[in-house]
């Protein structure tokens, strides 16, 4: 019997086209692995999609004067077309703004809430008085406390990859108005990551011989520093609504709902092409009884979410498989600076495909040869 593989690719924000960093670090390596397993006769589902919630989408929509849904639909189609043009053999490329995904994310949230995995907490968060808005994630910037790079976001520093919270930034300012924010109380739900620390340490050590050194090293440093509860809701109006009393005007944190997309996209694939999978369902590729090997392909900025937060969620959901491997790659640089969609610093894949439509294999080869 063929061995099953559930292969996923990191979900790019649908706020711009794909650049060569995306395909060098994620899509080409994942495609090679999926093609290899299929060539061996294995049973493969190869899943990708666009991450359509979170602050980058809202910022893009506000700048263009259109709705977030219009933004994500436009870039989802551009990205999907580019991947097809590069010969990436995904079985399904979904959208986290879909109804199926919203329902599954809400179900996960309620399932974990019923198990007592969250705690409600009122805390002070930065607030833009001019715009009457809380500043989560990329609505706020400042100096990174780890590498002192200016322009770090409230959720992560793109220079060093450190995961941050807004209150850790040095000299923070609103990305909307440029003003210095004030602190204001708000209620959120927190995933109690500290509860899972002993298990996560044991799990990562078991995988030390499998994981790439950059993955193991980053996760170990996080675990050695000690885990803390992490807010998994946000004061925003674009995203999956918090399905609990008191959650009005709040949505699920994008890094809570985005990895659930791997599961919801698999579900949509099975429902759209049942004949192709001979009666199998998404559970056959995600539940323990299905005995599938889960492999995540991603960039180094996503390591913490796929090695700490998502495994903790899968574990607490009870009967889900856990990642077998997380082959994360480093960033591809352009003139010494990391490729970045939000900063418009990149060589865009769709531009390349338009200019050199007969050179896709050449591009794949070159990016493989300089794989970051």
- pLDDT computed for residue 100 by the predictor: 98
Average pLDDT over every residue of 204-229: 95
For the whole model, what pTM was predicted?
A: 0.92
Residue 250: predicted pLDDT: 95
CA distance 341 to 361: 24
- In the predicted model, is pLDDT for residue 342 greater than 90? no
CATH number for 4-108+254-369 (one of 3.20.20.70, 3.90.1300.10, 3.40.50.620, 3.40.50.1100): it is 3.40.50.620
pLDDT beyond 80 at 372: no
What does the pLDDT read at residue 323?
A: 97
In the chain, where the domains are located: 4-108+254-369, 117-234
What pLDDT is attached to residue 231? 92
Domain 117-234 has CATH 2.170.220.10: yes
pLDDT digits (tens, 9 = 90+) for 42-66: 999 999 999 999 888 988 898 899 9
Q: What is the pLDDT of residues 253-308, one digit of tens each?
A: 999 999 999 999 999 999 998 888 888 999 999 998 889 999 999 999 899 999 99
What was the pLDDT predicted at 56?
A: 84
What pLDDT band is residue 360 in, cutting at 50, 70 and 90?
Answer: very high
Report the range of poorest mean pLDDT among 5-19, 132-146, 287-301, 322-336.
132-146
Give the tens place of pLDDT for each residue, 133-142.
888 888 899 9
In 3D space, the residue among 327, 305, 324, 215 whose CA is nearest the CA of residue 261 turns out to be 305
Please tell me the distance from the alpha carbon of residue 46 to that of residue 346, in angstroms, as a whole number: 26
């Amino acid at each position: 019997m063929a061995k099953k593989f559930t292969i996923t690719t990191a979900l790019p924000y649908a706020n711009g086209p794909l650049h060569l960093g995306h395909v060098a670090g994620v899509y080409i390596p994942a495609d090679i692995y999926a093609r290899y397993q299929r060539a061996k006769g294995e049973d493969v589902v190869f899943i990708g999609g666009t991450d359509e919630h979170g602050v980058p989408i809202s910022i893009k929509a506000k700048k263009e004067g259109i709705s977030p849904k219009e933004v994500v639909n436009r870039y989802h189609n551009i990205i999907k077309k580019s991947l097809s043009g590069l010969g990436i053999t995904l079985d399904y490329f979904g959208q986290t703004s879909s109804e199926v995904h919203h329902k599954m994310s809400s179900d996960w949230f309620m399932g974990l809430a019923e198990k007592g995995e969250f705690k409600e907490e009122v805390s002070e968060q930065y607030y833009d008085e001019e715009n009457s808005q809380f500043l989560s994630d990329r609505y706020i910037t400042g100096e990174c406390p780890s590498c002192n790079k200016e322009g770090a976001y409230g959720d992560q520093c793109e220079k060093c990859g450190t995961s941050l919270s807004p209150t850790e930034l040095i000299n923070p300012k609103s990305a909307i108005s440029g003003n210095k924010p004030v602190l204001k109380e708000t209620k959120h739900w927190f995933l109690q990551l500290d509860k899972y620390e002993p298990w996560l340490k044991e799990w990562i050590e078991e995988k030390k011989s499998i994981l790439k050194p950059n993955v193991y090293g980053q996760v170990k440093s996080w675990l050695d520093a000690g885990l803390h509860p992490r807010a998994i809701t946000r004061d925003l109006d674009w995203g999956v609504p918090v399905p609990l009393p008191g959650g009005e005007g709040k949505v699920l944190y994008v890094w809570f709902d985005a990895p659930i997309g791997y599961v919801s996209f698999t579900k949509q694939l099975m429902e759209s092409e049942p004949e192709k999978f001979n009666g199998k369902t998404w559970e056959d590729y995600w539940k323990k009884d299905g005995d599938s090997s889960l492999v995540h392909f991603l960039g180094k900025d996503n390591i913490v979410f796929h090695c700490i937060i998502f495994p903790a969620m899968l574990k607490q959901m009870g009967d889900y498989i856990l990642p077998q491997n997380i082959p994360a790659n480093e960033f591809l640089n352009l003139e010494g600076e990391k490729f970045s969609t939000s900063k418009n610093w990149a060589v865009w894949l769709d531009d390349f495909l338009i200019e050199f439509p007969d050179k896709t294999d050449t591009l794949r080869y070159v990016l493989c040869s300089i794989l970051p």
